[in-house]
Amino acid sequence: MFENISRACFALAASCLATAAMAGNTIINSDGVMVIDGKKVFPIGFTVSPPPEGQTPAGKNGIAELADAGATFLRAGPLGSPWNEERFAAETKMEAAATKYGLHCWLNLREASAIKVPADEALLRKVVSTFKNNPGLGCYKGVDEPEWGKAKVEPMTEAYRVLKELDPNHPLAIIQAPRGTVESLRKYNPVCDIVGFDVYPISYPPGKHSQFVSTNSEMSMTGDYTRRAVEFSEGKKSIWMTLQISWSGVLKSGQTLRYPSFPEQRFMAYEAIINGARGLLFFGGDIPKGLSADDKKLGWNWRFWNRVLRPVIEEIGSKSPLYPAPLAPNSKLPIHIKGDGMETCVREVGDEVFVMACKKSHSTAQVVFSGLPAKAGMAEVMFEDPRTVEIKNGQFIDWFAPFEVHVYRFKKG
């Protein structure tokens, strides 16, 4: 009898543990960092990713390739078509693929992201009830670029209320176009947990994606908009920035195709992090007009991935020695930088200090870093092996070319 009871208890306990594992829990901590099931995650994703069964030119599963480089997220859900039974089935496959390779999905609610008629609420309830306990789910995506599209707040408010009623364990992200004023953007704060911009400055002419092209047409507008997101969200939301692979401004008829180079893509990624981004998404890897003949057969821009994007993600992604730094709070060390057009971010992880620094001006110059711990000795210049800089009396000097990034790591001493 006792054996049967023990078996029954074990089965019940196992069932409860499985249910808890299935349900998952995603929060945004006080530093704006995403925490999934107790583990800090820096979302590095793609909008959209290769399909679950897609392959690289070498025959490797496409999502496995992204994960291997250090990616953590996939944009999922419908893109160009509404929710239907086929889309639900496809989403189930995407969530399963994310789980298999250790990633999470950013699930697009699409037409269910604003409740205008009763059918919208019914669809929202169906989407959420279907996927809220899926271990592949990370968070939801709300109305796309609502300020630019002049989306009404009230239907979004009702959708957010229903979403939180059904699933309080996964946040909702809203990405804005590089448009609007602080006031017009701020009114959407109550209907989301994560905010950000999509910013695509690499084009001919440069910067035409932005309303501020007359004041800054450079790729450093990435930092401008990241700071703007921090400002309009009043520092109370997590900041995700969507960066460029390709977009309509370089793909439409009459436009000249242009992709970011590795130094450009690297600069934009780091500048976003330096200015407050707690997640990065990369847009346009799947757009057919931007694909080579070989990549069209595979459905994703593997040419750009191999030449530009993978090397960037290898530096900032989950497999990198730098990865703990984007997850850490900003350091209170009184590090000061003397140099034109410099932006910097300091993070402490254990006894290590990481300094991410970029130069957004057009001059090449030596830059002075001071206020470092007195016992700090040599600093590694990460990803530039074997280069180091020597710290003397709490300071060091290093060269920066225009739009160059250096990342330093040293012990506090």
List, as one string, the DSSP characters of 353-413: EEEEEEE-SS--EEEEEE---TT--EEEETTSTT-EEE-BTTEEEEEE-TT-EEEEEEE--
Among 211, 213, 242, which residue's Cα sits nearest to residue 44? Answer: 242
Strands (E), 62-169: 73-76, 104-108, 137-141
Q: What is the pLDDT of residue 21?
A: 40
In the chain, pLDDT over 70 holds for what percent of residues?
A: 94
In the chain, pLDDT over 90 holds for what percent of residues?
A: 91
Where residue 79 falls among pLDDT bands split at 50, 70, 90? confident
Q: What is the pLDDT of residue 285?
A: 97
Residue carrying the six token digits 């829990």: 25
Q: In what order do the strands lie in the sheet with 378-381?
A: 342-349, 352-359, 405-411, 378-381, 388-390
Among 285, 281, 205, which residue's Cα sits nearest to residue 241? Answer: 281
Omega before residue 146 within 30° of 0, cis: no
pTM: 0.93
Q: How far apart, in whole angstroms, are the C-alpha atoms of residue 237 and residue 33?
A: 9
Residue carrying the six token digits 């300091």: 346
Q: What is the pLDDT of residue 243?
A: 98
Asked if the model's pLDDT at residue 340 lies above 90, the reply is: yes
Q: What is the mean pLDDT of residues 239-253?
A: 96
Asked if the model's pLDDT at residue 2 lies above 80, the reply is: no
> What structural domains does the chain harbor?
23-327 (3.20.20.80), 336-411 (2.60.40.1180)
Q: What is the pLDDT of residue 400?
A: 98
DSSP letter at 121 equals: H
Q: What is the pLDDT of residue 17?
A: 34
Average pLDDT value for the chain: 93
Where residue 335 falls among pLDDT bands split at 50, 70, 90? very high
Among 411, 404, 399, which residue's Cα sits nearest to residue 368? Answer: 399
Q: What is the pLDDT of residue 413?
A: 80
